[in-house]
Amino acid sequence: MKGIIRYFFLFLSFLLLQVFLARNIDLGYGFHLFLLPLFIMILPFETPVFILMLLGFLLGIIADSIMNSYGLNASSLVLFAYLRPIVFQTFTPKEGYDVLKKPVLPEMGWTWFVFSYGLLLFIYLVWFFFLEVFSLNEWVLIVRNSFFSFIFSFSVALILQLFFRKQPLA
């Protein structure tokens, strides 16, 4: 029960940060801050893909309705949630996943987090900007926005990971 309350608080925190803070940060040149994928990333390893996709849809559709982005976040978060178990399986450590660990930087390490979250975030951003433009004629804009947003969002995600301390086992 304690875990559900904690993740509900994180759900609201990420939603409020994205809607009221991140969308108002304007650096220009395609730099956009995306915090919502990090919430889906930090959910426990054993979370079923259906629950991941449902939470991604709910988080995205609420953000979209407030930000008037017409389902871009919902679609991108559902894709992120669907691909998360596939990427996690690809980057499974040799000893497998420990059910006591969470998919956060302090517990899984730099290499695992950078490759797993980096790949998922990049796919999320390419899909988001492709749907926003909805034309391959503007592929330069899609790549530019995806690249700069990736650098910005990934850097902020690494900083936010400092708040997820490694939990003692006892």
- Contact predicate 45/103, CB 8 Å: yes
Nearest to 157 by CA among 80, 89, 91: 80
SS3 category, 46 = coil
Q: Residue 109 and residue 72: Cα distance in Å, rounded?
A: 31
pLDDT of residue 49: 96
Give me the DSSP letters along 126-169.
Answer: HHHHHHHH--GGGHHHHHHHHHHHHHHHHHHHHHHGGGSPPPP-
* pTM, full prediction: 0.91
How many CB atoms are located within 10 Å of the residue 9 CB? 10
- Contact predicate 84/41, CB 8 Å: yes
Per-residue pLDDT of the chain (170 residues; tens, 9 = 90+): 678 898 999 999 999 999 998 877 877 777 889 999 999 999 999 999 999 999 999 999 999 999 998 899 999 999 999 999 999 999 988 888 887 888 988 888 899 999 999 999 999 999 999 999 988 888 999 999 999 999 999 999 999 988 776 554 44
User: What is each CA distance from 39 to 69, 86, 117, in whole angstroms?
Assistant: 19, 17, 11
Q: Which ranges constitute the DSSP H helices of the chain?
A: 2-16, 36-41, 49-67, 72-90, 105-108, 110-133, 139-160
pLDDT of residue 93: 83
Q: Residue 58 and residue 46: Cα distance in Å, rounded?
A: 19
- Contact predicate 33/149, CB 8 Å: yes
Domain definitions of the chain by residue range: 2-16+41-163
